Structure 1
Amino acid sequence: MAKSTAKRQDGFQSQHIEIGTMKHENPGWTRAHDGEKWAPRYIHPTVNLRESAIVALRAKNAIDECQYGAAELFRRLFEAMGGKGARAIDYSREFVEGGRFPDPIGDHQIDAGKRLAAAYEALTKAHGLYAWRLVGYICGEGRSVHELTDTRRQRDTMTDNLRTYLDCLASHWGFASRGVDTRARKVENQPTSRNCK
């Protein structure tokens, strides 16, 4: 892993970039071409490990593919709802006659809100309100586990709890049924988490 900082012209340093690789299932892989060099089942793209806490946890194999998929979907829905910088409506803008007044809330936001509400019900019913808050802090707001804890023991406990909560969301959204090999967790000595059903 390489760390680099870029110095801007005004003398300030930009955010640190930490380059690493992350194992992903190849979207172009098919059973017909299994074993071919040009179509591997898993690819290892280069990513910025400081993009979010979820990317860093996935790169360190602290969470599996299903948990990562659930976390990324939560992040996209959270951002669609305006969780990371909602845009305000400019009421001072003059509209032409016959023009359409923009909706303050779009269909995409409504759909994201409904999906997050269903996920809230599933997660809080199984694990309580703390589970929703923790997933919101880490997956939605992009806070790191180090930022929320003081000691190594707290970080390990929070990461274990996060795995359990992401398993619940993965089960709720159907990520667990995509055929991801669950034996990999046992091989990598990662604890198995309870699923919500």
Structure 2
Amino acid sequence: MSKAKRKKPHDPAKAHDRRPRDLLRNAEVATVEVDNPLALDPGEKIVALRSIRNDPLARLHSHHQIDEAQYQGGRAFQSDWEKAERGPRAVDPTREYVDGGQMREPITEGQRKAVLRLNRAERELGADGSALVHDVLVHGMTMDQIGQRRGLRTQRWRDYFSRRFCECLDRLALIYGFATQKR
């Protein structure tokens, strides 16, 4: 005859695990600690899952291949790129219809500052470094894809692109103020 199992006492610390249990079959996620939006005390953290499938920067950060300063520098570059990018806009049905051409929207101060920061980053990274950073952070390419695009398919070139990308992230962390210069 088997023993009856005892129930463990209720632990309130484990009451709110907000991570999903039913992920898709092809989901690629990593755990990350974020501020609790439902917290009563400021600074309270919870563990959440973030998708890393189409985000090479988050993948490198979750696998501890880059540090926090490099990650924040890459995110700042992506933020500036999104602010500065001016391309085709979707039709806004809430705006008044006007017959004829559409007047260009004026450049905002935030866009101007983002362009200045991007220009400085491009000068400091150089032509090859800025192309590499642009391919990874804007287009979301992997090192294999970058090597294939340039016709360099060996493991040695992939390792070179990886090391060069980490150097570029170090430089971006310095430019955006997330790291200090080593002496």
Instruction: State TM-score, norm by structure 1.
Output: 0.60
1:142 is paired with a residue whose SS is coil
Say yes or no: does 1:76 pair with 2:97: no
SS at 2:168 equivalent: helix
Match of 2:8 in 1: none
Q: Secondary structure at the match of 1:17?
A: coil
Please tell me whether residue 20 in structure 1 is matched to residue 22 in structure 2: no
Q: CA RMSD in A?
A: 3.3
1:14-66 per-position Cα deviation (integer Å, ceiling 9, x unaligned): xx5312224x6x679xxxxxxxxx957xx754110113111111111111100
1:47 aligns to what SS in structure 2?
Answer: strand
Match of 1:158 in 2: 161
- Code of the residue aligned with 2:27 in structure 1: it is I
**Residues paired across the two proteins, number:** 144
- Name 2:107's counterpart in structure 1: 105
- Alignment partners' CA distance in 2, 1:48 and 1:164: 25
Aligned position for 2:138: 140
The runs of 5 or more residues in structure 2 that have no matched partner are 1-21, 37-42, 148-152
* Greater RCO (CA < 8 Å, at least 6 residues apart): 2
Distance 1:21 1:151, change over 3 A: farther
Deviation at 1:102, TM superposition (A): 5.9
Structure 2 vs 1, CA of residues 18 and 132 (structure 1 numbering), >3 Å: closer, same or farther? same
- Percentage of identical aligned residues: 24
- Structure of greater Rg: 2
Q: TM-score, normalised by structure 2?
A: 0.64
The CA deviation at 1:196 is 8.3
Q: 1:108 to 1:21 in 2, by over 3 A?
A: same
Deviation sequence 1:97-150 (CA, Å, 0-9, x none):
xxxx662433332221111112222222xxxx1011101111122212222133
The corresponding residue for 2:176 is 173
Residues 102 and 155 of structure 1, relative CA distance in 2, 3 Å threshold: same
